[in-house]
Amino acid sequence: MAQAPARPLTNYHGAQDIERWQARRRWARAGIVYTVMLLFSILFLGPLLFATVSSLKENPLEYPPTLAIPQLSPRNWSAAASLGRAGAGAPLWGGFAPGAEVPFEVTYFVPEGLEATPPAVSVPRRRPGGGLGAVQQIEYAADYASVTPAQEVGREPGGYVDEDGETLTGEVVTYGFRVLYEGDGPKVDRLPVDVEVEERDQVFVSSTLALSRLERRGRVASYDNLAPGALGYTFNNYARVFKEARSITTGRSLFLSWTLNSFVIALAKVVSTILFASMAGYALARLHFPGKNIIFVLILFAQMIPGQVNFISNYLVLRDGIFGLSRLWGQASLLNSLSGVILSGLVGAGAVFIMKQFFETIPREVEEAAMIDGTTQWQRFFRVVMPMARPALGALTILTFQGAWNDFFWPLVVLTTPEDIKTLPIGLLTFRNIYGATGDWGLILAGAVMSALPIIILFIVFQRYFLEGVSYGGGKE
């Protein structure tokens, strides 16, 4: 930018005046800095937040995208709750059970010169989405529901602004109907309903619960679930992740299995890394022995060689159960088993490097004092050195957990069949392959948000360790 003018301050401004002028500049500067920082926050958090909010939507690909989402409106929450109570006595998760009597109202605008006609209400046999859910046996509400004819419950004069911006005058008519569950039968999860009018000009205005979509040029107001319950309405996609994505063989929720697997692998790796990396790091930092330099060079190389070089041999090693060793505990092959992923990642070279760097910073004197007391090397390590390493171990725990939780390539190679054995990241790839094809992004986004939740909670709680981890990873060499 342009050079600052080198002109001297002219003498008709006193020092105080200039001081005030400069203070004003400082304030403005702080204001601009905060504004820029806020903009950065929106930039970096925006996609995450937008995806989280959109994951509540029935169709996250709706265009234009909007933040005014019916699932976030308290009016719909309370409507969904009372409909859920009417449907199955369940205000939270809803449903359609014997004895149900679900009252519902739909309001239309009818322009002058047109006679309002009651809509035809039907309960369609509709599958709850495609993908993995398509192969399950489910009950249909259509087999048990009956609908009372829609009757007029209110009528008043009103206006309506159409797409061209013209205001039409006419009447606003409200119809009411009930969906009944007579006789005995199972409780059904969903109660899809279509409300159809004959005339296109009879325009849908509002209903007890926001509709799922308008079909057939606005003539059919379609509801995916007329008795959803408050949570069932708001978190429909989240419920679907658990309900629809089930293992074909065991019927267990895939997402639950994946979450459990991810936790088992991450926790096992954290424990083994903490123990083995500090042992190795301590030896490298403190003890004198031949071969130290070679090991150190290997550590540096191990961090640079791409995983694509080693995975070929490692895949074969796991396939043969580490030279048949795994037969000792009854596994012929370590492919498609969590222990395979854990055993091949007990301790990484990077973790050893971090611990070595850390142990070099703590003073020897403490240990020497313990040495005089006549303790063994082993005792000194566990009683004296490890307790001092707590800050580094905190960062290492977080780094390892995060790495294991988010790991993609190696689990993708090792864990392929059955679906139950996968971890969350590769499970999400399964979701993406199955549901992405049909454009069902609600389920994919809900799964993605849930899989990120543990790590985000961990980040909020242990923020300090995460940020320290970055500087350890950066290694102040």
Partner 1 sequence: MRSKQQEVVAAYLFLAPFLITLALFFLYATVRAVFFSFTDYDLFNAPRWVGLQNYANLFREENFLFALRNSLVFAAVVTTLQTFGALVMAAVLNQRIRGLNFFRAAYYMPSVTSSVVITLIFLWMYQREGLFNYLATQVASYAPQLGVFALLLIALQIIQVLIERTRGYPARWLDPALFAISFLVAAAATWLLTFLGILLPRDAEVDFTWLQTSQEVPGAFPMALRAPVPLIAIMIQNIFTTIPTFMLMFLAALQDVPKSYYEAASLDGATPAQQFFSITVPSVQPVTFLVVTLGLIGTLQMFDQVAIFGNAVPIRSVITLAYFVYQRMFPGAQLPEVGFASAAAMFLAVLTLLIVLIQRRFIRSEAS
The angle that helices 441-461 and 390-406 make with each other, rounded to 10 degrees, is 180
| Cis? peptide before 290, omega within 30° of 0 | no
Beta bridge partners of 207: 106
**Shortest distance, CB of residue 213 to partner 1, whole angstroms?**
15
**Shortest distance, CB of residue 436 to partner 1, whole angstroms?**
7
Q: What is the 3-state secondary structure (H, E, C) of 74-86?
A: HHHHHHHHHHHHH
**Which residue, 119 or 411, is less far from partner 1 as judged by CB?**
411
**Shortest distance, CB of residue 68 to partner 1, whole angstroms?**
14
Beta bridge partners of 158: 170
The angle that helices 349-361 and 390-406 make with each other, rounded to 10 degrees, is 170
Q: Is 465 exposed, middle or buried (0-12, 13-18, 19+ CB in 10 A)?
A: buried
Q: What are phi and psi of 289, to 5 degrees?
A: -160, 155
**Which residue, 96 or 441, is less far from partner 1 as judged by CB?**
441
Q: Distances from the Cα of 374 to the Cαs of 261, 285, 370, 381, in angstroms?
A: 44, 21, 7, 13
**Which residue, 74 or 290, is less far from partner 1 as judged by CB?**
290
Q: What are phi and psi of 49, to 5 degrees?
A: -65, -45
**Shortest distance, CB of residue 252 to partner 1, whole angstroms?**
22
**Which residue, 177 or 401, is less far from partner 1 as judged by CB?**
401
**Shortest distance, CB of residue 406 to partner 1, whole angstroms?**
3
**Helix, strand or coil for residue 284?**
helix
Q: Buried (b) or exposed (e) across 43-76, using 16+ Cβ within 10 A?
A: eeeeeeeebbbbbbbbebeeeeeeeebbbeeeeb
**Shortest distance, CB of residue 316 to partner 1, whole angstroms?**
8
**Which residue, 96 or 466, is less far from partner 1 as judged by CB?**
466
**Which residue, 48 or 161, is less far from partner 1 as judged by CB?**
48
**Which residue, 16 or 137, is less far from partner 1 as judged by CB?**
16
**Shortest distance, CB of residue 127 to partner 1, whole angstroms?**
23
